[in-house]
């Protein structure tokens, strides 16, 4: 065991897979010499060589499109989009090809690649550096989408993503990159894709969140507990496919559900989760499943972000509303 933050855990997973599998390549903008703008790939080029860990020209469609080409030959490219807002030029490749090649060729070719994207707000960044684009990927057939919230999960999910025979979008909650430290095994382990995790059991209400929102919910839970409210917190971990079983069992028990996401409200992941709850646990509901999400606005620049980011107080207010419904 070694104490790691998310950045170190992701780096450790990449290092491990680069060591273990010659087919793994890591590239993107500034990932080589610089080690990435968040230092996630720091030291990897020195260890594994510039043929396997390298800077590509600055073109996201090019990065994803070439990675697809490598992947269908059996390589395992792990590419980085420098920021959430920079993935958009690659959307044609992701939507039109990455998620479709296996189906289009009836399984002759598969696309075992990973696209890593730091995402989310709360870091006082410029425009295009604070987006939550997970709904676009969750809505796209052929992809899997995962988001870790702890260093342990970050390592286990990334190894699972690299070993998955299908393309995985791996979103990294940059706001908590260095905020959370945890003991992480140095050896190899995986977290299964498609499985949520109950972080703390509770009987009054289910809260479903992921990524950087987990920490905010946990802060709200401390206050809720003082008021006698026991929250069951589910870390979704995989955005698609959704772990219906864990959600069903929890909401059947608590009868109440709150979804917390940073992503904009309409047509977002929270809407999907509420549909899932309605389909799976309708007769157990004591209150309407509710979402606390970002607004249907552009995420504001840093001085306005305080209105947009979801705080523990707002989460607590929603929890109380639902418990007292």
Partner 1 sequence: MFDHKTLNKYKAIENKMYQVLDNEGKVILKDWKPDLSNAEIVQAYKDLLFERTVDLMAVSYQRQGRMFTYPPNLGQEAIHIAAGKVIRMEDWLVPAFRELGAWLAKGVSLWEIFLYFKGNEEGSKFINAPRMLPIAVPIASQLLHATGIAYAMKYNKENSAVFGFVGDGGTSEGDFHEALNFAAVWNAPVVFVIQNNQFAISVPLKMQTKSINLAVKGLAYDVPSVLVDGNDFFAMHDVLSYARKQALESGTPFLIEARTYRQGAHTTSDDPTRYRSKEEEEEWALKDPVQRLKGYLVRQGLWNPGQEDELIAGFKKAIDAEFEKAENFREYELDSVFDYMYHDLPDELKKQKNEYQNYLKLAKGGVK
CA 166 to chain centre: 16
- Tell me whether residue 62 or residue 312 sits nearer to partner 1 (CB atom): 62
Q: Is 50 helix (H, G, I), strand (E, B) or coil?
A: coil
CA 190 to chain centre: 15
- Tell me whether residue 29 or residue 318 sits nearer to partner 1 (CB atom): 29
- Tell me whether residue 12 or residue 166 sits nearer to partner 1 (CB atom): 166
Rg (CA), the chain: 19
CB of 106 to partner 1, least distance (A): 4
Q: d(Cα 290, Cα 314) in Å, to the nearest integer?
A: 13
Binding site for partner 1 (CB under 8 A): 25, 51, 56-57, 59, 61-62, 64-75, 77, 89, 92-93, 96-97, 101-110, 141-142, 144, 164-166, 194, 240-242, 244
CB of 41 to partner 1, least distance (A): 18
- Tell me whether residue 68 or residue 78 sits nearer to partner 1 (CB atom): 68
- Note whether 8 and 42 are within 8 A (CB): no
CB of 273 to partner 1, least distance (A): 13
Q: Please list, in sequence order, all residues whose beta carbon lies within 8 angstroms of the beta carbon of residue 23, skipping any fewer than 6 positions away.
A: 74, 75, 76
CB of 137 to partner 1, least distance (A): 14
Catalytic residue set: 129
CA 171 to chain centre: 4
- Note whether 244 and 276 are within 8 A (CB): yes
């Amino acid at each position: 065991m070694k104490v790691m933050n998310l950045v170190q855990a992701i780096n450790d997973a990449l290092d491990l897979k680069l060591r273990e599998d010659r087919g793994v390549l890591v590239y993107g903008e500034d990932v080589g010499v610089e080690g990435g703008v968040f230092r996630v790939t720091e030291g990897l080029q020195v260890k594994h060589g510039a043929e396997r860990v390298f800077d590509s020209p600055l073109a996201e469609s090019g990065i994803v499109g070439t990675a697809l080409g490598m992947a269908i030959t059996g390589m395992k490219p792990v590419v980085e989009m420098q920021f959430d807002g920079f993935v958009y030029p690659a959307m044609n490749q992701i939507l039109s090809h990455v998620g479709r090649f296996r189906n289009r060729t009836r399984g002759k070719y598969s696309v075992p690649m990973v696209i890593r994207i730091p995402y989310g707000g709360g870091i006082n960044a410029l425009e295009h550096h604070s987006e939550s684009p997970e709904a676009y990927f969750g809505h796209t057939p052929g992809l899997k989408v995962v988001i870790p919230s702890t260093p342990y999960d970050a390592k286990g999910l990334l190894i699972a993503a690299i070993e998955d025979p299908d393309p995985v979008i791996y979103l990294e909650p940059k706001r908590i990159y260095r905020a959370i430290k945890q003991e992480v095994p140095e050896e190899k382990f995986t977290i299964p894709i498609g499985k949520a995790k109950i972080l703390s059991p509770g009987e009054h209400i289910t809260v479903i969140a992921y990524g950087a929102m987990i920490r905010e919910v946990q802060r709200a839970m401390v206050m809720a507990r003082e008021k006698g409210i026991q929250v069951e917190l589910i870390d979704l971990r995989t955005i698609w496919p959704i772990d219906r079983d864990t959600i069903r069992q929890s909401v059947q028990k608590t009868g109440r559900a709150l979804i917390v996401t940073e992503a904009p409200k309409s047509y977002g992941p929270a809407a999907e989760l509420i549909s899932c709850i309605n389909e799976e646990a309708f007769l157990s509901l004591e209150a309407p499943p509710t979402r606390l999400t970002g607004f249907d606005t552009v995420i504001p620049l840093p001085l306005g972000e305080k209105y947009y980011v979801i705080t523990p107080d707002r989460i607590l207010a929603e929890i109380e509303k639902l418990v007292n419904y």
